[in-house]
Amino acid sequence: MEIKIDVPVEPPKELETLFLPIPKDYVEDVYKKDDFLILVGPQHPGSGHMRLIVRVKGDIIQEVIPDPGYVHRSMEKLAENRLYIQNIPLVERPAIMDSANFNLGYVRAIETALDIEVPERAKFIRTILAELCRIGTHLYDAAILAVFLGHTTGFMYPFGIRELICEALARMTGARFTSSFIIPGGVRRDVDERTLRWVYDATFAIERRLKSFERIFIKNPTVIARLREVGVLSKDEAILYGVVGPFLRASGVEYDTRIVEPYEAYEEVTWDIVTADEGDGYARFLVRVNEVSQSLGIIRQCITSMPEGRYVSEQICDDVKGNFFDAYGNLVLPAGEYTTLTEAARGTLLFTIVSDGESNVPYRVRIVTPGWLYLRGFMESLKGERLADLQAIYGSFGYFPPEADR
Amino acid sequence: MINEIIATLIEIFSSNSMQIPLIQPLVDYLMEIPLLNILVALILWRPFFAVVIMPGLIVLMLYLLYIVWFERKLTARIQWRVGPLEVARPIRGAIQALADGLRYFFQEAIVHRDAHRPYFVQLPILAFIPILLPIAFIPAGNAVGIKTPYAIQLIVAFLALIPITIIAIGWASNNRFAFVGSVREALMYVAYEIPFIIAVISMIYLYGSGDPYVAVEKQSLLPGAILNPIAFLVFLITMLMATSRLPFEIPEADQEIAFGPFVEYSGMLFGLVMVLAYEKLYIMALLFVILFLGGWNGIYCDLLGDLNAPLWLFIKTIVVISILAIVRSMYARYRIDQTLRYSFSWLIAFSIVALVVGVVAGWIV
């Protein structure tokens, strides 16, 4: 039974001064209909700065309007004023945990333009880097999800495990992340046998530690109670709202860019595409957890079947060492538009480079990040849930504002 | 004149003083010294000893220093971290809580413009009253503040007052997070209080009296936890809910509502409200030990004399609380509606079963 009490409610004056990206009469409409507007953010204790304008009726969310852009760094415009090779450290910045995948997407666009054939060994090394970064990102997102649910042990364990990933990246490339290791035509340096051996052993150490994470967090009844049947996106909805990556696969759609348009060494290793049917928060989390074990398998296969040979293409130069700037400084792409799709950790990542064919800087670089693509689905899945679930759903999507805002 | 008053006071104190053979020579020596003797007699006076020393205020303060450090250290060890270490390295950062307390003491306590100033400042201090009052009624063997056969009922009644002060704190803060926090606290209060009271009533039925002495005496063979395990479980879960420990840390959820009712507090006032839940936990754990773990029953040591009972009560309480500290690193937070559903279905059902068990067991025993 609903009891109606006629109390004249005025919209608070403060809402006028907060520069809300919504029409003025929307605010009045909300307050006339016995709803409330709650502003979550922009100083959110989560993974970045974004404001969510939540319209609630009682405890139930009616509608959520996102207000992103607080960490917009104008990557695309900055990229127009730098040499092609100087853009590599720039395009890694949107998601620093996922740097290798972003790096890979941009470099592959240049390679398509220049028609460079990448040596097999470089392809394998690139795959290892991409998968290491994927594991690191999934662990980071799991940690953020855990701390959203108030589970501090679930926050510390993935960060503890991620140290191994950082160490592996540091041994292979020299930097814990944002290594700018992937360059057009190959990789910066060769990776020796001992380092690969270490990474191979580290995958087993990660697997062992993940078991204790599973005991304390993944199979924890309180976690399952918070995530199951929360923020459900059905298969049709997920396709309609253009959700990408593991979140699309959690709704039962078998789509993975690594399968559909294989790049690098993904054709030469065996791995399964991870899907779930429920489409709720727990499914989205489990898909990423299972993807971590698939990625570990890919890394092991890459290391055991690592071919010998060059690490950078002959089309660029004989040896990058010592003449890096000579080789890449005057890179000019033929006129045209070159697009690549990459499966980054959080979903499909699109890089488009437009070149005018005569200058050594890109005419236009377009980056569409997975965060930006699944924002709509994220907002839709919040409808009808409780306000306390907002954090759980936020964490289950692993939404990362710096990545979405670019 | 003054000498006579002092002599009368010493006589009153000495007639009912703690007999501790271990420190008896020292007490005898100190009693010879004028003015110091009245102090010693007062400290050893049983009601004073129970309320102020043990299990009362001073031990409460020591417990607070210990539990804040221990909880952080334990959580850190579970989470592959080190925890508090830098303050007093040789004792592994054990006085970290003291250092934090000192910092709070010298920090500016800001009272924001929207707050209801008198209540905002008074309530953290007023909240101590329902915490300190039960201490007067909790006996530890011979050391007891106020001896009454209704002690257990009185303790439960005073415990029920604490959430009211927290709700008032949220109201006086006049902040939307504080408001949401106090509404959650009110809902939690409804959720845990009924099963909690039924569980206590079942134990009162079992022992046939609300007198802690009778309760402890009846547990000389078997502890209450074995006599009525269901009431034991219900009490344990409601204790977690009442002190907002982690699976039910809903009123203070810092990721959702930024420490709830206490969001506006700073400085000394924050120090006061922060330890509120720990103090409540201490009182509830004392009640828990008396009802379920045999109270001050334990191995009797002749040298300690009257100190045996308070010491055993304190040790058992500390052990219970130290075990409870582990839940913080084990569980995520439930949602408020899940907790209410869980409480109004399972917990009340279990508590009624516990009541039946209590009545039947009380009839047999």
CATH of the domain at A395: 1.10.645.10
Other C-beta atoms lying within 10 Å of the C-beta of residue A321 = 11
- CA distances (Å), origin B289, targets A352, B87, B201, B219, B271: 69, 33, 16, 11, 27
Interchain contact, B331 vs A151, CB within 8 Å: yes
Q: Which helix (H) or strand (E) holds A186?
A: strand A186-187
Are residues A181 and A323 located together in one domain of the fold?
A: yes
Residue B253 region by backbone torsions, left for phi larger than 0, else alpha for psi between -120 and 50, else beta: beta
Point out the residue among B79, B81, B335 whose CB comes nearest to the CB of A389. B335
Of the three residues A67, A95, A129, the one that is the final residue of a domain is A67
Same domain, A49 and A84: no
User: A83 and A126: one domain?
Assistant: yes
Q: Which of A15, A59, A153, A396 to mutate to test the interface with B (most CBs of B within 10 A)?
A: A153
Option in B249, B331, B337 nearest A386 (CB): B337
Please write the tens of the pLDDT for every residue from A52-101: 888 888 788 888 888 888 888 888 889 888 888 888 898 888 888 888 99
pTM, to two decimals: 0.86
Note whether A370 and A396 are same-domain residues. yes
Domain co-membership, A99 together with A234: yes
Domain co-membership, A307 together with A224: yes
**Is the same domain home to A251 and A374?**
yes
CA–CA separation, B78 and B347 (whole Å) = 29
According to the model, what pLDDT value does residue A46 have?
Answer: 59
Task: Give the distance from residue B277's alpha carbon to the nearest chain A alpha carbon, in angstroms.
Answer: 17
Mean pLDDT over each residue of chain A, to the nearest integer = 86
Put simply, the answer to whether B331 touches A152 (Cβ < 8 Å) is no
**pLDDT given for residue A287 in this prediction:** 92
**Could you tell me which chain B residue has the CA closest to the CA of A160?**
B80
Would you say residue A3 has pLDDT above 70?
A: yes
Parallel, antiparallel, or unpaired: how do β-strands A182-183 and A51-57 relate?
unpaired
Residues A118 and A166 in one domain: yes
Q: Could you state, in order of their start, the residue ranges of all structural domains in chain B?
A: 2-44, 114-364
Beta bridge partners of A352: A339, A366
Q: Is B306 on the interface with A (CB under 8 A)?
A: no
A132 lies in the same domain as A36:
no
Edge-to-edge strand ranges of the sheet holding A60-67: A36-40, A51-57, A60-67
Radius of gyration of chain B (CA): 22
A47 has pLDDT over 70:
no
* Contacting residues of A for B335, CB less than 8 Å apart: 225-226, 386, 388-389
Residue A7 falls within a domain, yes or no?
no
Minimal-distance CA residue of chain A relative to B257: A388
Residue A15 has pLDDT above 80, yes or no: no
A216 to chain B, any CB pair closer than 8 A? The answer is yes
Which amino acid does the sequence have at A90?
L
User: Per-residue confidence at A135, pLDDT binned at 50, 70, 90?
Assistant: very high
Could you state, in chain order, the average pLDDT of each consecutive group of 10 residues for chain B (365 residues)?
A: 81 78 81 79 81 82 87 88 84 84 84 84 86 85 82 89 87 83 88 90 87 84 83 90 84 77 84 84 89 82 79 88 87 87 90 88 79
Decide if A81 is inside a domain: yes
Q: Give the pairing of strands A51-57 and A60-67.
A: antiparallel
Q: Which of A274-283, A318-327, B227-236, B278-287 shows the lowest per-residue confidence on average (mean pLDDT)?
A: A318-327
> pLDDT (tens digit, 9 = 90+) per residue, A241-269?
989 989 999 998 888 888 888 888 888 88
Is residue A186 predicted with pLDDT exceeding 70? Answer: yes
Same domain, A143 and A236: yes
Selecting from A156, A226, A391 the residue whose C-beta is nearest the C-beta of B80 gives A156
Instruction: For residue B344, give the amino acid letter.
Output: F
Is A349:A342 a contact under the CB 8 Å cutoff? yes
Q: Please tell me the distance from the alpha carbon of residue A168 to that of residue A196, in angstroms, as a whole number.
A: 9
User: For residue A50, what pLDDT band results from cuts at 50, 70 and 90?
Assistant: confident
In a domain, A224, yes or no: yes
Query: What is the average pLDDT across A331-359?
Result: 89
Residue A8 has pLDDT above 80, yes or no: no
> Whole-angstrom Cα distance, residue B66 to residue B56?
15
- Residue A388 forms part of a structural domain: yes
Other Cβ atoms less than 10 A from the Cβ of A270: the count is 8
Do B334 and A386 count as a contact with CB atoms less than 8 A apart? no
Residue A1 included in any domain = no
Domain containing A262: what range? 75-405
Q: Is residue A55 domain-shared with residue A107, that is, in the same domain? A: no
| Whether residue A45 has pLDDT greater than 60 | no
Whether B333 and A149 lie within 8 Å, measured CB to CB:
yes
What value does the mean pLDDT take over residues A202-229?
Answer: 90
Q: Which of A48, A67, A86 is the last residue of a domain?
A: A67
Contacts of residue A225 in chain B, CB cutoff 8 Å?
Answer: 334-335, 338
What is the mean pLDDT of the segment spanning A28-48? 74
ipTM for the complex shown? 0.80
Asked if A105 and A28 sit in the same domain, the reply is no
Residue A353's pLDDT band (cuts 50, 70, 90): very high
In-domain check, residue A213: yes
**Pick from A22, A45, A67: which residue ends a domain?**
A67
Q: Do A391 and B255 touch (CB under 8 A)?
A: yes
Residue A6 lies in a domain: no
Q: Look at chain A and report how many structural domains it folds into.
A: 2
